[in-house]
């Protein structure tokens, strides 16, 4: 059995300490220990009260997530909690650290709670596609009221100890050591002979909201808007509604059990738990051990203060890392710094930041037009435009000024890191740090190791990712790395499908319904259609050589339709709105282009749209794994969810592929190959091998 609970006597108080490193989840051994400990205390006439705490940094991190979906040993959590709550001897939770999910629910079954100021409490189950299934949906509203409980459980966000005390979740904030405070609290209760307080018996607070249908309607609407396509939020609302309206704790618990069971069986739960473990897995790099030495990155220099450079600079400033930003001339520098300041000012207007926060961040920023000024930075990162010759030249300059040991990084989204490394005298210090736009917001950081990048530089960059509050995924050095290499097929298919019969609006809508935050044509409008068009013109490409999938975008640009930036692209954007409207003129243009290219249009089902856009991601993902560019399938899942908006509830493209069945996907790919041909539909050898062996991508996880 996993985990244990230590039991010791301190006078007439039993101290039980949960010990299941590193974060004390409620694994089988912990449940057994809780049950045994409480029974021992109950059987000992000398024990007058029990204090329950956790060893290490957590009180209890919740149920053991790895047990879900399997057969669990030991007593059930519910039996444990019933024993605890029914105890005639008072149990006081000494919440020393993180009390999440089932951990907070254990504390709510205790009769009193004393909390350390540094201890966060939360019910994050919704993030895993679950709901608090150990009485949390019934006890919390009885303690703090239905509205606060709805907000707390539906957000899943933790709150710190002082706020928990203020809200009434904890009875007392520890003064100094939390165990000592809880012991004193227990002694006081014993001395006063205070009765045990069972939250389950309290009806007064919930009774106030009985029949308040508006509150639940509003919660439902809000959840549907914020957590599109999620199953658990509605289940949570139903449980809290039961806590308020049924007037009977056990009847409410029955509703909670039923709803929890539905969540547990729902595929979203499996996907979201896959995400939880994957987010942690991607930080593990087989040939870069955990104890690899890392370099300190206390100062950074960013070359280029345009959209990407500015966003990257903000990421550093936000976590207190001073940045020197370099631009080619004073005007560009002033413009770039002005945009950063404006972005922060908007945050102040929205109440997300104070003017002092902005001053603090801007105080960490220095602008320069002189390369020499970058010499003292621990990390120099270039964020200039995507041209390998210009990048190589920039790396030569970086190498010339950087101090020994400094990390030299490129924000390229596709170009060869080794070529840049070769231009320096220290290829071991060169690495790709591919941020996603807007860089100060997007969670993903794709870290690209070159052939000679040292392990220390890789470990330092992964650590930097965590410091910047990003999820860092390591990629090998190949064109497009992980994300953009996969994306190529997706956008190309979308382009082909509209030439064959669908409208851009049908394609976007199908992908929106699938759960993407926007469709490929909405994305093109957002990025700007003119970027590719201008690049093609500059390169001297003849119109007849423009790939057919880019023809419509180029024609739109010829009509001065560049996308959102001038309110017209594939969509029309009414002034001041980002919600585009379909335009019959674009449909006519698409039809005309099909005719020009001799393509006969036909009706295309949404299902085909989805398969043709999404299966190339999986096929290319398989190649990326085979080439060793991504370490594991879950690395691809994390990249796609955090960098490209692939719906979280699918668990990412590779996990989703396993759910559908690789054999079915391969059969469809072969069908498309027969119908349309082209390298894109060439089945990846790894996919064929896995299907032949009856295996899944998950079998490669290791
Ligand atoms: C629940 O409670 C349902 C109940 O309502 C109903 C029951 C009937 N289980 O994140 P870290 C592992 S649902 C198993 O790197 P940190 C984690 O995988 C649960 N393992 O540390 C990692 O393993 P490894 C509700 C868990 O300090 C290691 O611990 N609770 C669990 O940055 C360290 O984790 C949650 O959703 C777990 N519950 O953050 C809380 N938690 O080293 C989920 C962690 O092998 N957990 N591990 O990679 C967290 O949010 C963070 O882990 C926590 C610590 C804040 C606790």
Residues sharing a CB contact under 8 Å with residue 317, sequence separation 6 or more, in sequence order: 323, 340, 361, 362, 364, 365
Decide if pLDDT at 59 tops 80: yes
The rounded Å distance from CA 62 to ligand 1 centre is 7
Q: Which two tokens stand for residue 407?
A: 């990390």
Q: What is the pLDDT of residue 407?
A: 98
The total of other beta-carbon atoms located within 10 Å of residue 398's CB is 28
Q: Is the pLDDT of residue 26 over 90?
A: yes
Give the pLDDT score at 538. 81
Instruction: Select from 24, 31, 61, 634 the residue to mutate for testing ligand 1; criterion: most ligand atoms less than 8 Å from CB.
Output: 61
Dump the DSSP string for 153-207. Answer: HHH---B-HHHHHHHTSSSEE-SSSHHHHHHHHHHHHHHHTPPP--GGG--HHHH
Question: Which residues' Cβ are closer than 6 Å to ligand 1?
Answer: 22-23, 25, 58, 61-66, 77, 98, 100-102, 105, 124-125, 128, 130, 132-134, 136, 277, 280
The string of DSSP letters for 576-603 reads T----B--HHHHHHHHHHHHHTTPPP--
| Mutation to probe ligand 1, out of 3, 62, 124 (largest number of atoms < 8 A from CB) | 62
pLDDT given at position 385: 84
Catalytic residue among 85, 105, 270, 496: 105
CB atoms within 10 A of CB 287: 9
Closest residue by Cα to atom 41, ligand 1, is 61
The number of the ligand 1 atom at minimal distance from the alpha carbon of 102 is 2
Q: Give the other-Cβ count within 10 Å of 451's Cβ.
A: 12
Sole residue written with tokens 């995400």: 275
Distance 45 CA to ligand 1 centre (A): 37
* CA distance linking residue 161 with residue 166, whole number of Å: 9
- The reported pTM is 0.92
Strands 430-435, 407-410: pairing is parallel
Residue 639 pLDDT > 80, yes or no?
Answer: yes
65 Cα nearest atom in ligand 1: 9
For residue 466, give both structure tokens: 């965590």
Using DSSP bridges, classify how beta strands 58-60 and 98-100 pair: parallel, antiparallel or unpaired: parallel
Alpha-carbon distance of 56 to 652, in angstroms, equals 33
Residue nearest to atom 24 of ligand 1 (CA): 280
Going by pLDDT thresholds of 50, 70 and 90, the confidence category of residue 543 is: confident
Mutate to test the pocket of ligand 1, among 3, 23, 24, 270 (most ligand atoms within 8 A of CB): 23
- Least trusted range by pLDDT, from 71-80, 197-206, 348-357: 71-80
Contacts of 259 (CB under 8 A, 6+ apart): 131, 235, 236, 238, 239
Token pair 């099909």 is at which residue?
594
Nearest C-alpha to atom 19 of ligand 1 is from which residue? 62
- Which one-letter DSSP state was computed for residue 432? E
CA 166 – ligand 1 centroid, Å: 26
Closest atom of ligand 1 to 136 CA is 5
Helices (H) and strands (E) in the chain, counts: 29, 17
Per-residue pLDDT, averaged over 141-161, amounts to 97
Q: How many Cα neighbours within 13 Å face the side chain of 413? A: 17
Residues 605, 608, 610: CA angle, nearest 5 degrees: 110
- 69 pLDDT exceeds 80? no
Catalytic option among 8, 67, 85, 125: 125
Quick one: DSSP state of residue 650?
A: G
The encoded tokens of residue 35 equal 């049950």
Q: How confident is the model at residue 539 (pLDDT cuts 50, 70, 90)?
A: confident
- The Cα 17–Cα 40 span in angstroms is 14
422 is catalytic: no
For residue 63, report the distance from its CA to the centre of ligand 1, in Å. Answer: 8
State yes or no: cis peptide before 22, omega within 30 of 0. Answer: yes
Categorize the per-residue pLDDT at 601 as very low, low, confident or very high, splitting at 50, 70 and 90: very high
pLDDT, average across residues 300-316? 96
Q: What is the mean pLDDT of the chain?
A: 95
On the question of pLDDT at 18 being above 80, the answer is yes
Which atom of ligand 1 lies at the shortest distance from residue 61's CA? 56
Tokens of 172: 């007392």
How far is the C-alpha of 245 from the C-alpha of 247, rounded, in Å? 6
Does residue 70 register a pLDDT over 80?
no
Q: 10 Å Cβ neighbour count for 61?
A: 23
Cβ distance 446 to 639 under 8 Å?
Answer: yes
pLDDT exceeds 80 at position 702: no
Using one digit for the tens of pLDDT, what is the confidence trace for 397-445?
999 999 999 999 999 998 999 999 999 999 999 999 999 989 999 999 9
**Cβ atoms of residues 637 and 653 within 8 Å:** yes
Distance 59 CA to ligand 1 centre (A): 12
Q: Tokens 């045994």 sit at which residue?
A: 36
b or e along 204-218 (b: 16 or more beta carbons within 10 Å of the residue's beta carbon)? ebbeebeeeeebbee
Span from the CA of 98 to the centroid of ligand 1 (angstroms): 10
CB 98 within 8 A of CB 59: yes
Q: Which residues contact 683 (CB under 8 A, 6 or more apart)?
A: 619, 666, 669, 670, 673
With beta carbons less than 8 A apart as the criterion, state whether 196 and 88 touch: yes
- Picking from 584, 497, 508, the residue whose alpha carbon sits closest to that of residue 549 is 497
pLDDT at 68: 86
CA distance 393 to 656: 42
* The pLDDT of residue 541: 84
Structure tokens at 235: 């289940």
Q: Are 449 and 475 in contact (CB under 8 A)?
A: yes
pLDDT interval class at 547 (50, 70, 90):
confident
Distance (Å, whole) CA 352 – CA 345: 10
Active site residue 214: no
> Which tokens belong to 423?
């231009």
* Rounded distance between C-alpha atoms, residue 652 and residue 159, angstroms: 29
Q: Can you tell me the distance from the alpha carbon of 558 to that of 674, in angstroms, rounded to the nearest whole number?
A: 35
Average pLDDT over every residue of 496-506: 96
DSSP string, 314-381: HHHHHTT--EEEE-SSHHHHHHHHHHHHHHHHHHHHTTSS-HHHHHHHHHTEEEES-GGGGTT-SEEE
Q: Strands 430-435 and 444-449, how do they pair?
A: antiparallel
pLDDT at 565 over 90: no
Q: Are 396 and 371 in contact (CB under 8 A)?
A: no
Question: For ligand 1, what atom is nearest to the CA of residue 280?
Answer: 48
DSSP reduced 3-state for 293 = coil
Atom of ligand 1 nearest to the CA of 100: 30
Neighbouring-strand partners of residue 112: 92
pLDDT in tens, 568-587: 999 999 987 888 999 999 99
Percent above pLDDT 90 for the chain? 91
Residues β-bridged to residue 326: 303, 368
Which domains occur in the chain, in start order? 4-265 (3.90.226.10), 300-478 (3.40.50.720), 502-506+516-596 (1.10.1040.50), 606-700 (1.10.1040.50)
Q: What is the DSSP string of 237-287?
A: HHHHHHHHHS--HHHHHHHHHHHHHHHHHSHHHHHHHHHHHHHHHTT-BTT
Whole-angstrom distance, CA of residue 315 vs CA of residue 377:
16
For residue 505, whether the previous peptide bond is cis, meaning omega lies within 30 degrees of 0, is no
From the CA of 229, how far away is ligand 1's center (Å)?
A: 24
CA of 211 to the centre of ligand 1 (A): 36
Cα 99 to ligand 1 centroid, rounded to whole Å: 10
Mean pLDDT check: name the lowest of 62-71, 89-98, 339-348, 433-442.
Answer: 62-71
Query: Which comes out higher in pLDDT, residue 626 or 535?
Result: 626
How many CB atoms are located within 10 Å of the residue 250 CB?
Answer: 9
Bridge partners for 529 per DSSP:
none
Q: What distances in angstroms separate CA 645 from CA 40, 442, 447, one per listed residue?
A: 52, 10, 18
Phi and psi based region of residue 387 (left: phi greater than 0; alpha: psi -120 to 50; beta: remaining): beta
Q: What is the pLDDT of residue 360?
A: 97
Could you tell me the distance, in angstroms and rounded to a whole number, from the CA of residue 278 to the centre of ligand 1?
12
Output the pLDDT for position 502.
97
């Amino acid at each position: 059995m996993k985990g244990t609970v230590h039991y010791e006597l301190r006078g007439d108080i039993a101290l039980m300490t949960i010990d299941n490193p590193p974060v004390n989840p409620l694994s089988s051994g912990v449940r057994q220990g809780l049950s045994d400990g409480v029974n021992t205390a109950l059987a000992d006439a000398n024990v007058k009260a029990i204090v329950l705490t956790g060893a290490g940094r957590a009180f209890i991190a919740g149920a053991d997530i790895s047990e879900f979906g399997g057969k669990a040993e030991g007593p059930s959590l519910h039996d444990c909690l019933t024993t605890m709550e029914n105890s005639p001897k008072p149990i006081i939770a000494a919440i020393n650290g993180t009390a999440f999910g089932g951990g907070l629910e254990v504390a709510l079954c205790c009769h009193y709670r004393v909390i350390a100021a540094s201890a966060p409490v939360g019910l994050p189950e919704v993030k895993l596609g679950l709901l608090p299934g150990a009485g949390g949906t019934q006890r919390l509203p009885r303690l703090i009221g239905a509205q606060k409980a709805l907000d707390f459980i539906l957000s899943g966000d933790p709150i710190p100890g002082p706020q928990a005390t203020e809200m009434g979740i904890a009875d007392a904030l520890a003064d100094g050591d939390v165990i000592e405070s809880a012991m004193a609290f227990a002694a006081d209760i014993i001395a006063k002979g205070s009765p045990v307080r069972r939250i389950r018996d309290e009806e007064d607070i919930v009774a106030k909201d009985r029949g308040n249908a508006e509150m639940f309607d509003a919660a439902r609407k809000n959840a549907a808007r914020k957590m599109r396509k999620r199953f658990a939020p509605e289940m949570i609302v139903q449980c809290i509604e039961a806590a308020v309206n049924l007037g009977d704790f056990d009847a409410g618990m029955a509703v909670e059990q039923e709803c929890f069971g539905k969540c547990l069986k729902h595929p979203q739960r499996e996907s979201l738990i896959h995400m939880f473990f994957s987010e942690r897995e991607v930080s593990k790099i087989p040939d870069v051990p955990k104890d690899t030495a890392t370099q300190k990155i206390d100062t950074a220099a960013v070359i280029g203060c345009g959209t990407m450079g500015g966003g990257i600079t903000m990421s550093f400033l936000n976590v207190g890392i001073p940045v020197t930003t370099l631009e080619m001339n004073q005007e560009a520098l002033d413009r770039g710094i002005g945009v950063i300041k404006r972005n922060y000012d908007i945050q102040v207007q929205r109440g997300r930041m104070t003017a002092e926060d902005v001053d603090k961040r801007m105080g960490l920023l220095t602008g320069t037009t002189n390369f020499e000024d970058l010499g003292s930075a621990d990390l120099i990162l270039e964020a200039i435009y995507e041209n390998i010759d210009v990048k190589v030249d920039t790396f030569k300059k970086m190498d010339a000024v950087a101090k020994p040991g400094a990390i030299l990084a490129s924000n390229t989204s596709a170009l060869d890191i080794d070529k840049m490394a070769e231009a320096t005298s220290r290829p071991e210090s060169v690495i790709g740090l591919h941020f996603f736009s807007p860089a100060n917001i997007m969670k993903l950081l794709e870290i690209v190791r070159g052939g000679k990048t040292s392990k220390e530089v890789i470990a330092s960059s992964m650590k930097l990712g965590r410091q910047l509050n990003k999820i860092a995924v390591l990629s090998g050095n190949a064109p497009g790395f992980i994300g953009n290499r996969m994306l190529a097929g997706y956008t190309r298919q979308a382009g082909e499908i509209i030439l064959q019969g669908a409208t851009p609006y049908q394609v976007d809508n199908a992908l929106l319904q699938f759960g993407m935050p926007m469709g490929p044509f909405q994305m093109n409008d957002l990025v700007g259609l003119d970027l590719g068009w201008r690049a093609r013109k500059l390169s001297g490409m003849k119109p007849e050589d423009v790939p057919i999938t880019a023809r419509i975008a180029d024609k739109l640009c010829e009509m001065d339709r560049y996308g959102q930036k001038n309110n017209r692209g594939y969509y029309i954007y009414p002034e001041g709105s980002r919600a585009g409207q379909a335009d019959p003129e674009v449909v006519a243009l698409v039809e005309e282009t099909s005719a020009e290219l001799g393509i006969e249009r036909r009706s295309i089902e949404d299902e085909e749209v989805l398969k043709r856009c999404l299966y190339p991601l999986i096929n290319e993902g398989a190649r990326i794994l085979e080439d060793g560019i991504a370490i594991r399938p879950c690395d691809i899942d994390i990249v796609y969810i955090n960098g490209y908006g692939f719906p979280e509830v699918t668990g990412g493209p590779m996990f989703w592929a396993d759910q559908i069945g690789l054999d079915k996907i391969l059969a469809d790919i072969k069908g498309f190959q027969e119908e349309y041909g082209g390298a894109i539909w060439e089945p990846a050898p790894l996919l064929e091998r896995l299907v032949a062996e009856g295996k899944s991508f998950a079998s490669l996880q290791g």
